[in-house]
Structure 1
């Protein structure tokens, strides 16, 4: 049994904005089921649902040094599904409902220091500190800089997981030096310095014992100039201690057999008939023409360049000329929101543009759509394509990161594959692949087995947790 302490700025179901919260919500529970003692530290945000706040028990408080400041830090505890959660309480930094704000450097500098300071007051010394994304990137730095001088902290190993390399936490060196009480020796090219600034994510990469990211292909991509976001040289140098482990999804939440959000529950036995009913009822709900045989393409995403919306924009005219229905859910860049609104106004029979966030509607789209379009420019892992397949919805993706690792292209000669994919980042290649998928959709002798193969693909956290467990064993010898 390993003692693992995870530190993260967001954890589902308490507080999340995206995939980071989903991962740190599910992985600890999967590791706990393997017999590890797993605990998680996160901020006590004002947005945490009241049902969980009422379950928290106050443990103690300390004062955390932050440069020349001394800040109150309360610690609350909650146990759920075999995992112990510690909540860092400070009303000034975390009392309002926002996870990320204008003063994130100061907020997460306090959080990083608090994660280490409270350890000596807990009845728990971890074997491994597992930190996630730039918000906790300075924890390994601080552990090496100061805390390792205390015998209590000696022997603690560190793992740092990159969920998206594009977001790095880049700030002025002077301000970072102030909040973290670091001298100028830490701000050199081989440590925190990054083009004249300080890079917190780089700190996590440099000072951690092991570095992981959320899919094997993404682990290779970030070692190249194309995918490395100017850190490819450092990541290539750390190749021997860099691991790619693909994320899983929570089948308790994403299960068409039990999902309370969808119109008709189903499984492999009644997949075709019940999925068609979900489509018809969603068409009725969204005001689309009711036609159970019409191909419905779903998109559930942030509307940003990273997700491929520049090539979708290039292909919109062609998409609207096809005999399909396109259902879009998400928010993002104004130009893409307006593009979908305008096309929905011109083509109300073909496009439903839902420019908002709705977990309920997302589930309904996953259950109703025939195809799921996800042509990302880059995708560290991606969960949407896995969720779509859990509902028997066939993905059409670009071969990058976790999309390449999770979607096996359909081979009409062998009958293998669970989706469709293309590599060149272009509207032409996306549309060629989409048209090919629609041709196969018309042949139910091909399409029905393909839906079943997609639905049978296992993306449970158990497999991923075993890989993390093996990595921990390797690190601890």
Structure 2
């Protein structure tokens, strides 16, 4: 079973968020189960030179997409036991950062075309191409239309994974027509039209052979009008071919017993874990005390993550005698709110704007609780990392948070965290207060922490589900009559 992951980022080469974690770790888990999985990425300027040393150029050529004639280089290398391919074009990818440029539509349309053009030169014939998010969503469409004449492209199956439905790659109609080289008739019959614009993710949703998203609850949520981001009709149409497969984490990397970023290694010992708490307090300039509850937040400071709920009840939350540790960056209004609060209550709120991987790990290890009051959360990795570091999550019941965090039941002794259903600041505050009550009961707290340690949040479980999906897909004949073959 040969699978090519097509993605815009993957650790350890390039990462901006959770997508990079998934596309970096899942291939390893699939390879361990007998698949042969390789990954293709753009050759960004940000890829460290220490990794590029492992790559060699295996093919160079130029090709046309629309009226453009562009150079393309194909590099191959092995990093961390996984074979990666890099698509090289300095005009598009030799820049700081991964995204956020005005010509992102052209950059990633080129990337999709380049993958199709490079397939004959990879020394690797995939059975399945697994595409991730809008940056590679056009590839299933191109394989079934522009490249349908090619036997290799016609025979390969495609899987498209929605990591976050909100980010769809919506661009002007004429722009996408120009980039792909389509006339008005092709545009309207292709199904890429989206309320007068053009939608890359819609292409993946319609043309991929199978669809997945990153949790069972999110798979149900995005079929509703409220959470469907105006694509719910298309998703309901493909509902029988949509699977919700929960993400995992790399348990070798996220291992509190062997994490070099931590002050004190530990596994199940709360006393050793609390040594990391006092070390974190000293590092951030907070009063040092094992008895003070520390609540950690590692997130993007954006509306999706529920920062406005924290804003609304910050004063009564701090009045509970907690210490709040926040690491992240995002919208200016939230950064300013937290900066002001840190100046107002410096003994209780420590803020680090930006991202620091080592500090993030020390927050996971040094916090007693981890707060994720998200408006929506397709899967979420932070709560899984928190559980791995024996930190109790407090989450809103949405998407993958609902699927991975079970509320503690004092009567049965079950549950690994605390949850609230309504997107309401005072419901969140009430849930934090409930968690603090049990934190002050040593035996109850040990039970909750121990419950969190019982679950398997590694990629092994997810890999089994993907292998099953791939196995179902391979024997299927192409249903080419479902998609218009346009030349």
The TM-score with structure 2 as length reference comes to 0.96
1:247 aligns with 2:247: yes
1:318 aligns with 2:316: yes
SS in 1 for 2:114: helix
1:452 aligns with 2:442: no
SS in 1 for 2:384: helix
Please name the residue that 1:116 is paired with.
Answer: 116
Could you list the per-position Cα deviations for residues 191-216 of structure 1 after superposition, in whole angstroms to 9, with x for gaps in the alignment? 10001000000011011111111111
State the 1:454 CA deviation. Answer: 1.4
State the 1:122 CA deviation. Answer: 2.5
2:143–2:154 Cα contact (<8 Å) kept:
no
Correspondence list, 1:203-218, <5 A: 203-218=203-218
SS in 2 for 1:5: strand
Please name the residue that 1:397 is paired with.
Answer: 395
Q: How far apart in 1 are the matches of 2:56 and 2:473?
A: 33
State the 1:352 CA deviation. Answer: 0.7
Q: Which blocks of at least 5 consecutive residues in structure 1 are unaligned?
A: none
State the 1:190 CA deviation. Answer: 7.2
State the 1:319 CA deviation. Answer: 1.1
State the 1:28 CA deviation. Answer: 0.8
2:54–2:79 Cα contact (<8 Å) kept:
no
Correspondence list, 1:18-167, <5 A: 18-100=17-99, 101-167=101-167
Correspondence list, 1:65-464, <5 A: 65-100=64-99, 101-188=101-188, 191-268=191-268, 271-464=269-462
1:32–1:82 Cα contact (<8 Å) kept:
no
Q: How far apart in 1 are the matches of 2:204 and 2:421?
A: 31
Moved over 4 A (4+): none
State the 1:173 CA deviation. Answer: 1.2
Count of residues in Structure 1 that have an aligned counterpart in Structure 2: 474
State the 1:11 CA deviation. Answer: 0.8
SS in 1 for 2:393: strand
1:390–1:457 Cα contact (<8 Å) kept:
no
SS in 1 for 2:98: coil
State the 1:435 CA deviation. Answer: 0.5
Worse-matched range after superposition: 462-471 or 63-72: 63-72
Q: How far apart in 1 are the matches of 2:131 and 2:17?
A: 17
- TM-aligned CA distance change 1:276 to 1:82, over 3 Å: closer
Q: Which blocks of at least 5 consecutive residues in structure 2 are unaligned?
A: 476-487
2:144–2:154 Cα contact (<8 Å) kept:
no
State the 1:189 CA deviation. Answer: 7.9
Could you list the per-position Cα deviations for residues 412-449 of structure 1 after superposition, in whole angstroms to 9, with x for gaps in the alignment? 00000111111110011111111000000000010012
Taking only aligned residues, the RMSD between alpha carbons, in angstroms, comes to 1.1
1:186–1:192 Cα contact (<8 Å) kept:
no
Q: How far apart in 2 are the matches of 1:313 and 1:261?
A: 30
SS in 2 for 1:283: helix
The TM-score with structure 1 as length reference comes to 0.98
2:140–2:158 Cα contact (<8 Å) kept:
yes
State the 1:97 CA deviation. Answer: 2.6
SS in 1 for 2:279: helix
